[in-house]
């Protein structure tokens, strides 16, 4: 956070949830928060929940009963979902009583506006820890050596959950179109669709060229991102889901790695903003293979994307930069409430 900016300004609440049913926003807390708010007496409240959540409404009800100070929420939902009563009613009530909000993307803000939110809003993308995400050159060399991958081999990488939505089958099919070049693909992560992915790799005869690394810790992630020559995030939309941000894109750019992303959800907006890579259509192995070939053949272009992406991420996605933005919005809301 930003030292001296939010001292005694915002109450931080981390109670234990008692009910949460899958994707239905029924997550709520044991406490009603009124006693807590009386003790903390905050000047403002930020609720790190979507506006449709029951947990969000709990904090808003408590605030209305105790102090009625400026209050705001987080939003990443980029699909205009219509919820049944009473969820829809509570969502509208939260939107009508909010002094500020922090949507993760412009897409999330657009959904809020369509639902009638007219208050102050500041798009606040997901932050990157610059002390962790930077080019780990020595670690990249060590990983190549450990895996027996020569310096002349182009490494295509994926880091994330191995699930259908991430488009890994499309990535494998794209790679099957470029067998004549010296490349290797590293899939870092775990997930429920690993067996299906392994079958596709075997069926296409790519077992020797695509390695499933498995789960790695958060602290190890930047080292793997640094070993990739390009990161691919080929996510694919479904009726109820599309990428809400694509955090691994900015993490890869922070590590000096260019990216290729699909047109799923917020991926194109993130890549256009950072300038750190290429955008391809969803579920299109041919176009994805051409994008991979473009970067494989052109080191100068890879370097340009890497430099541009890293610069933008360092300047606009750092924790300090976004914390300052966060603090400024809340301080402005407090000042307006006291006029």
Give yes or no for a contact between 123 and 106, defined as CB atoms under 8 angstroms apart. Answer: yes
Instruction: Give per-residue pLDDT as tens, 57-94.
Output: 999 999 999 989 999 999 999 999 999 999 999 999 99
192 in the same domain as 84: no
Same domain? For 98 and 152 the reply is no
The verdict on 301 and 326 lying in the same domain is no
Contact 134, 274 (CB under 8 A): no
- 158, 300: one domain: yes
Identify the CA nearest to 258 among candidates 310, 218, 213: 310
Is position 7 within any domain? no
- 232 shares a domain with 142: yes
Q: Give per-residue pLDDT as tens, 110-153.
A: 999 999 999 999 999 999 999 999 999 999 999 999 999 999 99
Statement to judge: residues 327 and 267 lie in one domain: no
Q: Are strands 230-233 and 100-103 parallel, antiparallel or unpaired?
A: unpaired
Asked whether residue 294 is domain-assigned, the answer is: yes
pLDDT band at 28 (very low <50, low <70, confident <90, very high): confident
**Is 12 within a domain?**
no
Instruction: Give the range of the structural domain holding residue 58, as residue numbers without chain letter.
Output: 17-127+318-337
Q: Is residue 10 part of a domain?
A: no
For the stretch 130-134, contacts whose Cβ atoms lie closer than 8 Å and that sit 24 or more positions apart, written own/partner, are: 130/254, 130/314, 130/318, 130/319, 132/219, 132/222, 133/222, 133/225, 133/251, 133/254, 133/255, 134/222, 134/254, 134/255, 134/256
Q: What is the CATH number of the domain that holds 81?
A: 3.40.50.2000
The reply to whether 294 and 159 lie within a common domain is yes
Number of domains in the chain: 2
Q: Angle 168-175/285-297 helices, nearest 10 degrees?
A: 60
pLDDT by residue (tens digit) across 187-229?
A: 999 999 999 999 999 999 999 999 999 999 999 999 999 999 9
The reply to whether 91 and 171 lie within a common domain is: no
User: Is the domain of 206 the same as that of 307?
Assistant: yes
Taking CA 317 as the corner, what is the angle to CA 277 and CA 229, rounded to the nearest 5 degrees? 30
Q: Are residues 302 and 327 in the same domain?
A: no
């Amino acid at each position: 956070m930003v030292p001296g900016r939010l001292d005694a300004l915002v109450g931080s609440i981390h109670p234990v949830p008692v009910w949460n049913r899958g994707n239905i926003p029924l997550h709520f807390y044991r406490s009603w928060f009124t006693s807590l708010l009386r003790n903390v007496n905050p000047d403002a409240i930020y609720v790190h929940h979507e506006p449709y959540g029951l947990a969000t409404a709990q904090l808003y009800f408590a605030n209305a009963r105790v102090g009625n100070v400026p209050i705001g929420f987080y939003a990443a939902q980029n699909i205009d979902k219509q919820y049944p009563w009473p969820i829809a009613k509570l969502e509208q009530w939260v939107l009508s009583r909010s002094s500020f909000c922090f949507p993760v993307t412009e897409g999330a803000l657009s959904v809020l506006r369509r639902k009638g939110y007219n208050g102050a809003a500041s798009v606040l993308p997901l932050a990157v820890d610059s002390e962790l995400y930077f080019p780990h050159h020595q670690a990249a060399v060590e990983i190549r050596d450990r895996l027996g991958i020569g310096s002349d081999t182009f490494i295509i990488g994926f880091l994330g959950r191995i699930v259908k939505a991430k488009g890994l089958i499309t990535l494998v099919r794209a790679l099957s179109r470029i067998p004549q070049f010296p490349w290797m693909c590293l899939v870092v992560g775990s997930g429920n669709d690993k067996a299906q992915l392994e079958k596709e790799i075997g069926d296409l005869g790519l077992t020797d060229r695509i390695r499933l690394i498995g789960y790695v810790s958060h602290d190890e992630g930047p080292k793997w991102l640094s070993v990739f020559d390009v990161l691919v995030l080929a996510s694919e939309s479904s009726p109820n889901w599309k990428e809400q941000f694509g955090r691994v894109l900015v993490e890869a750019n922070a590590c000096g790695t260019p990216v290729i992303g699909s047109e799923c959800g917020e991926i194109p907006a993130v890549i256009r903003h950072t300038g750190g890579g290429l955008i391809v259509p969803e579920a299109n192995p041919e176009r994805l293979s051409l994008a991979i070939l473009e970067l494989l053949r052109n080191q100068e272009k890879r370097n340009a994307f890497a430099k541009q992406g890293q610069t933008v991420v360092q300047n606009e996605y750092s924790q300090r930069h976004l914390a300052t933005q966060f603090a400024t919005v809340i301080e402005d809301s407090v000042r307006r409430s006291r006029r």
